[in-house]
Structure 1
Amino acid sequence: MRVALQRSMPAPSRLHSEAIQFRIILAATYPFFLIAALVQRLTPTGSPRRRSLLQERRSVFGEAKAMAVSAIPFAFMG
């Protein structure tokens, strides 16, 4: 007997609850990533190439948000 697996679209309420969970986790982890971004800015830079890249980067707040947004999806895996 063969059973066909169907992929259904997630319910809008599920998508909404995941979006709320994402925002809560973002708000909870943002201060830690902000501290990490500040520490990265305050540590001395090594190579001249890295120094040139530092001139083109975003604000400390933008960097902290980017780090948080890139790390949070791992909480939803599984």
Structure 2
Amino acid sequence: MRTMVPNARQQQEEIQFRLILAATYPFFLAAAALGRVRPAQAMSRPGLAPARRSVFGEARAMAVQAIPFAFMG
């Protein structure tokens, strides 16, 4: 079994996560903005339109989903 991560290591990983988030957020923001500008192709089913986040919230969600892959391994 894996033991608990020491507090110092956990803080270091949190700082690394925040730095990577700050570095990659502009790219995800651009992707989210482009996604809003392009016509939606998923409108084949009208009436099932998902609730939309703000562009900034969408960019943060994309970044938070992608960044953990940098810590795998």
TM over 0.5: yes
Larger Rg: 1
Superposition CA RMSD, Å? 1.6
What stretches of structure 2 of length at least 5 have no aligned partner? Answer: none
Question: Tell me, which stretches of 5 or more residues in structure 1 are unaligned?
Answer: 1-5
Tell me the residue number matched to 1:12.
7
TM-score for the superposition, normalised by structure 2: 0.88
Shift in Å, 1:52: 2.0
1:69 corresponds to 2:64: yes
User: Between Structure 1 and Structure 2, which shows a larger proportion of helix residues?
Assistant: 1
Measure the CA separation in 2 of the matches of 1:49 and 1:12.
Answer: 49
Residue aligning to 1:37: 32
The 3-state SS of whatever aligns with 2:45 is helix
Number of positions where the alignment pairs a residue of Structure 1 with one of Structure 2: 71
Displacement, 1:48?
A: 4.3
After TM superposition, the score normalised by the length of structure 1 is 0.83
